[in-house]
A and B are shown apart, each in its own frame.
Chain A
Amino acid sequence: DTGVSQDPRHKITKRGQNVTFRCDPISEHNRLYWYRQTLGQGPEFLTYFQNEAQLEKSRLLSDRFSAERPKGSFSTLEIQRTEQGDSAMYLCASSSNSFGNTIYFGEGSWLTVV
């Protein structure tokens, strides 16, 4: 169990550029989640995958955001035409199907849009 890993940990980008974050969940975890956290706030749910199927998307996930999980393993979160309001930490998490399936979080990817 190597934990949930995220890459890159930090990204500074100019407004209007596209950025992509990668998440590698704990192996054998078939559930994967993306959350967004802004300064002084708790994490907010963005989207959920069961294996490769994206089963729920928050209304926070505008058309500029897209998430994928090909083959049900790693996941990517892409933000197109970034805006300053996108500056936040993007957290990936994973869990199994077992009872009381605890969600394990990665260390997050910080995005700063300048």
Chain B
Amino acid sequence: AQSVTQLDSQVPVFEEAPVELRCNYSSSVSVYLFWYVQYPNQGLQLLLKYLSGSTLVKGINGFEAEFNKSQTSFHLRKPSVHISDTAEYFCAVGPSGGYNKLIFGAGTRLAVHP
């Protein structure tokens, strides 16, 4: 079984500042890792994913994440945020074999202030 813990429920930040959203996971099997973003009243949009290979993964909208197997973490970062990045961010884990039954964290609300 897998589980995901997003360590911050809310992260306030000023525009153009850097941000890190933290995600830890647990699993007894090899996993794929994902970050999704959800804007108000919308579905989820994939930001980036880690499947294998380089532990630093780059995604859309200038986001990147680093997979750390020893710390079982997959933190999301952006060097300079914009007002438009205000949204809910979800970390998810799925088994690397079979189909993608994703397990999601509770989400982190990123609020970017001018």
Contacts and interface: CB of A to CB of B under 8 A. Distances in A.
Interface stretch (A12-20, A40-48, A77-85): A40-48
Contacts of A104: 46
Contacts of B45: 105
Interface of B: 4, 32, 34, 36, 41-46, 49, 51, 90, 92, 99-107
Contacts of A48: 99, 101
Given A50-B99, A105-B44, A100 B51 contact: yes
B107 A42 contact: yes
A99 B96 CA distance: 9
A28 to B, nearest CB: 16
Interface residues of A, number: 26
Contacts of A42: 4, 90, 92, 104-107
Contacts of A25: none
Given A105-B43, A106-B43, A45 B101 contact: yes
